[in-house]
Amino acid sequence: MVVALTEKFRGIYGRAPEILARAPGRIEFIGNHTDYNGGTVLGASIDRAVWVALAPRADGRRRFSSDRLGEIVEQAAASPRKLPGRRGWINYPLGVLAALPQFGLRTPAGFDYLAMSDLPAGAGLSSSAAVELASGLAFLKAAGENPPREVLVQAARRAENDFVGVPCGILDQGVSGFGRKGHLVHIDCRGPRFFTVPLPAGAHFWIFNTQKKHALIDGLYAERHRECMEAARLLGVALLADLTPEDLQRVERLVPQPLALDGGVPAGKILLMRARHVIEEIARVEAAVTALRAGDLPAVGRLLTASHRSSQTLFENSTPELDFLVDTLTAAPHVYGARLTGGGFGGAVMALTDAAFDRTQAEAVASASAEKFGAPPEIMHALTANGAELI
């Protein structure tokens, strides 16, 4: 990819890049929507990534291009503005440029910029965070800055929250920033604090991308965020992570059941469903850490599948395609467990398997899905990889 990135940059801008950076995509291993609720989460940085090439300019012009855009887009340094439609990916590096000064960091005045990726967009593998991290490293190098990794991760999250407009937690940026080959990243999102947990030998990830792209900014993610904040207020805490499953059981009977929503489900019950998913999911994360340290992959797999069932029934961020893949995979040999990965509402399913699960079996699962839904999911066998870095 480095050679292809360099040659494409030269072809677009007529000169070689001076700075190269890469940041991996990530698998949300377990911890669905727990991050912005102050909980814990486990993720894995994977061997698919976004690469950024950059060369500073003396004239203050900022020019952007990507392998998927096929054109140069110029933005004035003094007044960056969000772009709609197919150019909207530029909002992620622009958001980083807007966020870095808030942490006391300089940014380059002008540059030529190119991003390339082998991450499928919209699959729940956090291509957006990978763009933010790789861009941030390149911008900081060009400006002569070298902050702690925690600062870069926080700036990237702020870019997505404040400039792009997605109220995500720290999961995506934290895993892409702190990934380590052969390990999972364990994040206490309240800190945030970042740890690594060894992944037992013989564990494999298979990703099944439904190619139904989720669009988190379109509102469903924001709606779940709002529901979680309202549930916390209703339950008398700042964040849902302040409650245990036992706490929730004690207060459930006291929660009012006000106006019924469409379909006749009371609004209070919906908020309790969201709360139960988050609170029990945090407990599943901690149980998964314990099982991983013990090398008990079957126990980990059961927790993954339980996580999906909770997303399916309580958080309601799954889809029929995702549910079918999980049902099919968990019935297959050599699969420990499976769940949706990422924000949901489309995207991908992750299966945790042993080494005997192979592409033939994966293609059989994809064929069964295609027979039911008309389009086969994209298959990816993923390995863990190191986090964001300058090349």
**Per-residue pLDDT averaged across 280-298, rounded?**
97
**Per-residue pLDDT averaged across 48-70, rounded?**
92
Rounded CA gap, 333 and 338, in Å?
12
Q: Return phi, psi of residue 142, to 5°.
A: -65, -30
The full 3-state SS of 132-201, as one line of letters, equals: HHHHHHHHHHHHCCCCCHHHHHHHHHHHHHHHHCCCCCCHHHHHHHHCCCCEEEEEECCCCEEEEEECCC
Range scoring the smallest mean pLDDT among 53-62, 89-98, 208-217: 208-217
Rounded CA gap, 119 and 102, in Å?
29
| Structural contact between residues 113 and 65, judged by C-beta atoms closer than 8 angstroms | yes
**Per-residue pLDDT averaged across 148-167, rounded?**
91
The pLDDT value given to residue 349? 95
The answer, yes or no, to whether residue 1 has pLDDT greater than 90, is: no
The answer, yes or no, to whether residue 88 has pLDDT greater than 80, is: yes
Calculate the average pLDDT of the chain.
90
**Per-residue pLDDT averaged across 122-142, rounded?**
87
pLDDT classification of 256: cutoffs 50, 70, 90: low
The answer, yes or no, to whether residue 91 has pLDDT greater than 80, is: yes
The pLDDT value given to residue 57? 94
**Per-residue pLDDT averaged across 168-179, rounded?**
90
The answer, yes or no, to whether residue 257 has pLDDT greater than 90, is: no
Domains of the chain: 2-198 (3.30.230.10), 204-382 (3.30.70.890)
Range scoring the smallest mean pLDDT among 6-20, 162-176, 314-328: 162-176
The pLDDT value given to residue 334? 97
Rounded CA gap, 157 and 194, in Å?
15
pLDDT classification of 260: cutoffs 50, 70, 90: very low
Q: Percent of the chain, pLDDT > 70?
A: 93
Full-model pTM: 0.86
pLDDT tens-digit profile of 305-315?
A: 999 999 999 99
pLDDT tens-digit profile of 105-126?
A: 999 999 999 999 988 665 566 6
Comparing C-alpha atoms, which of 140, 81, 242 is closest to residue 234? 242
Which residues are marked as active site? 172
pLDDT tens-digit profile of 220-235?
A: 888 999 999 999 998 9
**Per-residue pLDDT averaged across 347-375, rounded?**
95
The pLDDT value given to residue 251? 74
Q: Return phi, psi of residue 58, to 5°.
A: -85, -15
**Per-residue pLDDT averaged across 35-61, rounded?**
94
Q: Is the peptide bond before 200 cis (omega within 30 degrees of 0)?
A: no
pLDDT classification of 139: cutoffs 50, 70, 90: very high
pLDDT classification of 346: cutoffs 50, 70, 90: confident
Give me Rg for the CA atoms of the chain: 21
pLDDT tens-digit profile of 5-25?
A: 999 999 999 999 999 999 999
Rounded CA gap, 345 and 318, in Å?
5
pLDDT classification of 258: cutoffs 50, 70, 90: very low
**Ranked by mean pLDDT, which of 216-220, 252-256, 283-287 comes out on top?**
283-287
pLDDT classification of 253: cutoffs 50, 70, 90: low
The pLDDT value given to residue 124? 60
The pLDDT value given to residue 80? 77
**Per-residue pLDDT averaged across 185-205, rounded?**
93
pLDDT classification of 390: cutoffs 50, 70, 90: very high
The pLDDT value given to residue 214? 55
